[in-house]
Structure 1
Amino acid sequence: MKALILAAGAGTRLFPYTLSSPKHMLPIANKPLLEYNVEQVASMGMKELGIVVGHRKEQIMGYFGDGKKWGLKITYIEQEKRMGISHAILTAEKFIGNDKFVVILGDNLFMDDLSQQMGEFLSSGAEAGIGVQKVDDGRFFGIVEMRDGKVLEIVEKPEKPASDIASVGLYFFSSPKVFGVIRKQKPSARGEIEIADTLMGLVSSGSHVKPLWIKKRWKDTGRRSELLDANRAILGDMNENRVSKDAVVTGSEIIPPCIIGEGCIISKSRIGPFVSMGNGCRVEGAKISESIICEGTEIRFSEPIKNSIIGRMCKVIKKGNSSISVNIGDHSEIIEDGL
């Protein structure tokens, strides 16, 4: 069985952070989001991984290389035109060949060990499997209707959802049959080859599409608030402070859970809870909570910073009287006049 992670999207909903970095490489608890999914593939016992790349592909390829660090052989497949999930799957047809395969959306974060879902799929004899979970508001998801352990219908982002069961970014396929279905599809109104239409094409042909329940938390990190939620979830499971041995912390309080990267210098500050701080940051006189601070950033700001994402190599230098929410991209500066 092979694995395919889709990581080609530009992440426009996460501008400005994704202007200089793929959304899949944004840090969650000081580790690229995509790395959590690469680790999932390794834990599922697979050896061959294809990563579909596009926007800022060189950063993904440079970080993961040939995959040996994770016990994997990684093949990179470029999706030159971003035309949806099924189009991305089709670009990997040569890599997949005749093997069974799993597809993971690279901007999704799964707290489950997906080995269980893989086992359920393989033992079911189904042609395809789809990860599902109950959600509060189905208008933002593909909504799944099912009966007797089989998918009957999938409706993408309906105005009036017929159920509260949503599809999540996990798909299994047992044969190359899916590629034939995709080739027959026409783009949707938004110009994409939709995965919901692909799965319904399999259902219409009489194939068994099995719902696979995701039991633990699952995060779609396509928006800033969702990225912060994912960071909070990982740190919450960690439930402790992890401060790099060579970080220098003086006259400061680190409120768990937080992770502080290598070479950070923190003085006269209160950090936490739920703060991820990348390598080489310098922080003085700051109060930071529930935020992601990327590597190489300097912060000298006297009022609280909360629910913020600050990109790489930024400067936030100001003396003020009220709190702010800071959301700026790489190499940006916020500096009070005269400093």
Structure 2
Amino acid sequence: MKAVILAGGKGTRLLPLTQKLPKPLVPLLNKPVMEYSIELLKEHGITEIIITLQYLSDKIRSYFGDGSQWGVQITYLQESLPLGTAGSVKNAEHLLDEPFLVISGDALTDFDLMAGVRYHMQKHSLFTIFTKEVKKPNKFGIVETDEQGHIRRFVEKPQKEEEFSKVVNTGIYVVDPFVLCMMEKGKAYDFSKDIFPRLIKNGMSLFGYHANGYWKDIGSHEDYRQAQYDMLDKKVRVHIAAEEVLPNLWVGSNVKMEDNVTINRPAYIGNDSYLGDHVVIGKYTIIGKSSKITKDCELSRSIVWDDVTIEHTSPSSIRNVTIAPRYQISEGYKAGTSVKVKNKKNISPVEAG
């Protein structure tokens, strides 16, 4: 079985994180979000992967290469213009001659993918949507199924008065190649706006598979942060790239800490990082690789990307921020000052640089 990973979006809601980095490469505990999808596919025996690209595609190609490092074979398809979720898959039609899986390059999940594939086959479905019940469905497409699992209604990003369900489309699909015949190559199509309504209207077999497990779309700054907190709390079954030296404390290789460092769990410290005298790492703090946190600094619920230097000569507290790679915070804060974000996105102003 083959899989198509959709990795062409710009991730505008994650700006400025995605200003110079494609959304699939945004790190979760020091690994690109799409790397977890590739590992999940490999775990389920799916090793032939097609990745659709558009925005900052060279960076994705450079990181994943031919996929051999992960035990998979990757084929890239470049779009000159955005083709939408369905149009991107149509672009891969020549490589797809049997039912295949579609998964997003910017979501974190541990679903049993093959359970959904078996469901698709048992139902003789043309198109099967992995669904999940959520608390706030207005950001997604909501679905209603009958007793047999047929999807009878679908509304994309409903208004409050339109919410007839809290079961949503996760963007993970099993697709029969016949569906691709419903589109013209080179045109933009969206599964939710164009394909699902046609399938429902024509009474074609569109099924919803209610998946068990964790799923989060990394579409907003809030979700980006929460996904990593959930990983630290072991709410999602993924491989974390560090050693769990104590319960819920992961430390990478070649990390140097002074004797008087305090670390409160859960937390993650990346490879080749340094924690200096009297540094306090609060709960839900993530330090990227090769970062340097020097004397008397306290961090809590903050995400520090790679190669960041924080140098304070007087006690300071940094909380609820995300700090961009290769940024340096040095003298300039008064003793006891809290570096705290005031905007709703919880993004440090330093990231804009």
Q: TM-score, length-normalised on structure 1?
A: 0.89
Q: Distance in 1 between matches of 2:282 and 2:76?
A: 38
Matches within 5 A, 1:66-105: 66-96=66-96, 98-105=97-104
Q: Is the counterpart of residue 170 in structure 1 residue 172 in structure 2?
A: yes
| Letter aligned with residue 256 of structure 1 | R
Q: Is the aligned partner of 1:314 residue 2:327?
A: yes
For residues 251-279 of structure 1, the C-alpha deviation after alignment (integer angstroms, 9 at most, x for no partner) is 21122222211211111211132222111
Q: Is the 8 A contact 2:83 2:186 kept in 1?
A: no
Aligned partner of 1:200 in structure 2 is 197
Q: Quote the Cα distance in structure 1 between the aligned partners of 2:227 and 2:284.
A: 11
CA contact (8 A) 1:294 1:312 kept: yes
> Which ranges in structure 2 are unaligned for 5 or more consecutive residues?
235-239, 241-246, 342-346
The separation in 2 between residues aligned to 1:202 and 1:93, in whole angstroms, is: 19
Please say which of residues 177-186 and 85-94 is displaced more in the overlay: 177-186
Instruction: Answer yes or no: is 1:263 the counterpart of 2:263.
Output: no
Rounded Cα–Cα distance in structure 2 between residues aligned with 1:312 and 1:186? 37
- Cα distance in 1 for partners of 2:71, 2:122 equals 25
Q: Equivalent residue for 1:253?
A: 262
Q: CA deviation at 1:131?
A: 1.2
Q: Deviations over 1:185-204 (max 9, x none)?
A: 986xxxx6343431232233
Q: Deviations over 1:209-260 (max 9, x none)?
A: 1211122221111111110011111111175212123111112112222221
Which of the numbers 235, 248, 254 marks the counterpart of 1:240?
A: 248
Residues 110-134 of structure 1: CA distance to partner in whole angstroms, max 9, x if unpaired?
A: 1333232223223332111101111
- Distance 1:85-1:275 versus aligned 2 partners, 3 A rule: same
Structure 1 CA distance for aligned equivalents of residues 9 and 59 of structure 2: 13
Q: 1:287 matched to which residue of 2?
A: 298
Q: Identify which of 278, 285, 289 aligns with 1:275.
A: 285
Aligned to 1:35: 35
Number of aligned residue pairs = 326
Give the whole-Å Cα distance in 1 for the aligned partners of 2:210 and 2:106.
19
What TM-score results when the alignment is normalised by the length of structure 2?
Answer: 0.86
What do you get for the CA RMSD once the two structures are aligned? 2.1
Q: Please list every run of at least 4 consecutive aligned residues from structure 1 whose deviation after the TM superposition is greater than 6 angstroms.
A: 184-187
Q: Is the 8 A contact 2:25 2:34 kept in 1?
A: yes
Aligned partner of 1:25: which letter? L
Q: Within 1, Cα distance between the matches of 2:40 and 2:134?
A: 23
Asked if structure 2 preserves the Cα contact closer than 8 Å seen for 1:25 and 1:60, the reply is yes
Secondary structure of residue in 1 paired with 2:144: strand
**Distance across 2 between alignment mates of 1:84 and 1:209:** 20
